[in-house]
Amino acid sequence: MKVIFHVLRAHWGRSLMAVLQIGVAVGAVVAIVATGIPTLMGTGMGSAQLLEASYSAVGQEVNQFTQETIPVFTPDDVGVVVSQAEAVEAAAIFSPQTIVLVQAGQDVYATRGFAAVTPQLARIAGLEMVAGSFFTDADIQEREARVAAVSEPLARMLFGSAQAAVGQTLTMRPLREAMALMGFAAPGEQKGSEQSPQSLRVVGVYRPLTGDAVFQDLPMMLPATANPAMGETGSGREPRYSALYVKPKPGRVQEAQESVRLLLAPRVEQRAADPRYRDRIAGRTYELTVREPFTSSTLRSILSWQVAVTAGVGLLAAVVGGIAVLTVSLVNVTEQVRAIALRRALGATRRRVLGEILAQSLVLSGLGGLVGILLAWPIERLLEPALPTVSFLGGRLGEAYVALGWMIAVPAGLLLALGIGTLAGLYPAWDASRTAPAEAWREVA
């Protein structure tokens, strides 16, 4: 080992360059793997067995980001699907809304929004209750449901703890106040059938939803029988929503698709004929579709490609680092020909010579691997705009995925560095071990 470090120290300049090249490459790969693993694991949660029913414009299946839909679903449709479709395990409405102002006591807070849902959403999304319970079918049946379930962070912010939040009352401020906060309306401007502030009793506190882009991490959920932000309550109109989510029974996805389509098609067609939708439907053809949501397999596929591309760039950098180690090893072998010949003449075997030269390459790459692990975090910060991330991956489970990503990425980075060193050192070591002592002396004479 002393001989190895003596050789590397004697040519410290090129050795340092090789170590840095390996370090940057390994650091990039570690950063990409550490980010890609939690992202792909998070997007895989709860997505494989989920269907989304929507009444959408024909011909927009490819571009689901801008898909035009008509709100035609009601909470009654959930009951019809669950009771009459044998292949369906659960169904729910989930309608997220934008920023909302909530008041607790004299304090008013702006939150990311809320969702109007039906009770089985808790089962479909795997909602974990921290305190209290989710609202029930009895709450849904009330015309103006006055209950809410809130996330654990919101409960702590408003009431100090999850347990203290249960039974407390919070107030949803009118939509016009939230719009004014965002600069879209004057504070005193009225919007259609805008409602007065609504008091809601907190019945349960849940952990933030993680790992699924469909059921976003929203801080509050309300029964879908009333939608105070959209002004439906008290206007004489039945609240309607744009999507209904279905969880099929295992192995019965296609059967569930057909059943839901047959059950809901006549109901939604009748509602779509409402005069309120005439201008939106004019000149277009709409139909009921039941399929996997965009964020199930499609998002996972997109992120997989993004991870693959960025990882490919990192591996290309690793190849360049391997070439640098190969070059340094070849130059070192060339300069050590006389010393190698002397050791061979004194009885050193080919295996020992091969091991010494290969060890030099492994030391270079191993040092590069350690440098790469130290550089991984700053490289991740630097490459953050290009690395695949999912903003809705949060909470304790999200933190566990991130920790798991680093636990896998760090050993993988070290193995990659040692693998590069082994491959880059094989040829120089083999070439040095097969040269006879007499020939070596002749070459350097």
Across the chain, mean pLDDT equals 77
**Residue 420 and residue 321 in contact, taking contact as beta carbons nearer than 8 Å:** yes
Average pLDDT over residues 56-64: 59
Q: Are 61 and 173 members of one domain?
A: yes
What is the residue-wise DSSP string for 239-260? Answer: --BSEEEEEEPTT-HHHHHHHH
Q: Which of 263, 294, 325 is the last residue of a domain?
A: 294
Burial degree of 379 (CB within 10 A; 0-12, 13-18, 19+): buried
- Write the pLDDT tens digit of every residue in 84-119: 999 999 999 998 887 788 888 888 888 878 888 999
pLDDT at position 190:
47
1 CB contacts (<8 Å, ≥6 apart)?
359
- Write the pLDDT tens digit of every residue in 341-367: 777 677 777 787 788 788 888 888 888
- Give the lowest-confidence range in 31-45, 64-78, 177-191: 177-191
More confident residue, 240 or 143: 240
Q: Which of 294, 310, 338 is the last residue of a domain?
A: 294
Of 31, 5, 16, nearest in space to 372 by CA: 31
Q: Are 236 and 327 members of one domain?
A: no
Q: Are 82 and 205 members of one domain?
A: yes
Q: Are 38 and 145 members of one domain?
A: no
pLDDT at position 150:
93
On the question of pLDDT at 296 being above 90, the answer is no
Q: How many CA atoms lie within 13 A of 190 on its CB side?
A: 5
Which one-letter amino acid corresponds to residue 89? Answer: E
The DSSP bridge pattern shows strands 220-223 and 115-117 to be parallel
Distance CA 241, CA 232 (A): 11
Average pLDDT over residues 311-340: 77
Q: Are 115 and 27 members of one domain?
A: no
262 CB contacts (<8 Å, ≥6 apart)?
none
- In degrees rounded to 5, what are phi and psi of residue 407? -65, -30
Q: Are 170 and 310 members of one domain?
A: no
State pTM to two decimals. 0.58
Q: Are 280 and 306 members of one domain?
A: no
Distance CA 352, CA 346 (A): 12
- Write the pLDDT tens digit of every residue in 5-35: 555 566 667 777 778 888 888 888 888 777 7
Distance CA 137, CA 14 (A): 72
Q: Are 252 and 112 members of one domain?
A: yes
On the question of pLDDT at 62 being above 50, the answer is no
Q: Which domain holds residue 405?
A: 2-44+299-444
Tokens 């091969």, residue located: 354
**Residue 232 and residue 223 in contact, taking contact as beta carbons nearer than 8 Å:** no
Q: Are 356 and 430 members of one domain?
A: yes
Enumerate the β-bridge partners of residue 206.
129, 151
pLDDT at position 235:
42
Q: Are 279 and 315 members of one domain?
A: no
Average pLDDT over residues 283-309: 70
Q: Are 187 and 279 members of one domain?
A: yes
Q: How many CA atoms lie within 13 A of 26 on its CB side?
A: 32
* Number of folded domains that form the chain: 2
- Give the lowest-confidence range in 136-140, 196-200, 359-363, 418-422: 136-140
More confident residue, 267 or 146: 267
Reduce the DSSP state of residue 311 to 3 states and report it: helix
Among 83-97, 212-226, 366-380, the range with the most confident prediction by mean pLDDT is 83-97
On the question of pLDDT at 57 being above 60, the answer is yes
pLDDT at position 182:
64
Average pLDDT over residues 251-266: 92
At 314, the pLDDT band (50, 70, 90 cuts) reads confident
Distance CA 328, CA 332 (A): 6
- Give the lowest-confidence range in 36-50, 51-65, 143-157, 340-354: 36-50
- In degrees rounded to 5, what are phi and psi of residue 153? -60, -40
State how far the alpha carbon of 152 is from the alpha carbons of 145, 157, 211, 281, 291, in Å. Answer: 21, 9, 17, 41, 32
What is the residue-wise DSSP string for 287-350? Answer: EEEEE--TTTHHHHHHHHHHHHHHHHHHHHHHHHHHHHHHHHHHHHHHHTHHHHHHHHHTT--H
pLDDT at position 412:
86
pLDDT at position 339:
73
Q: Which of 264, 294, 324 is the last residue of a domain?
A: 294
Q: Are 308 and 287 members of one domain?
A: no
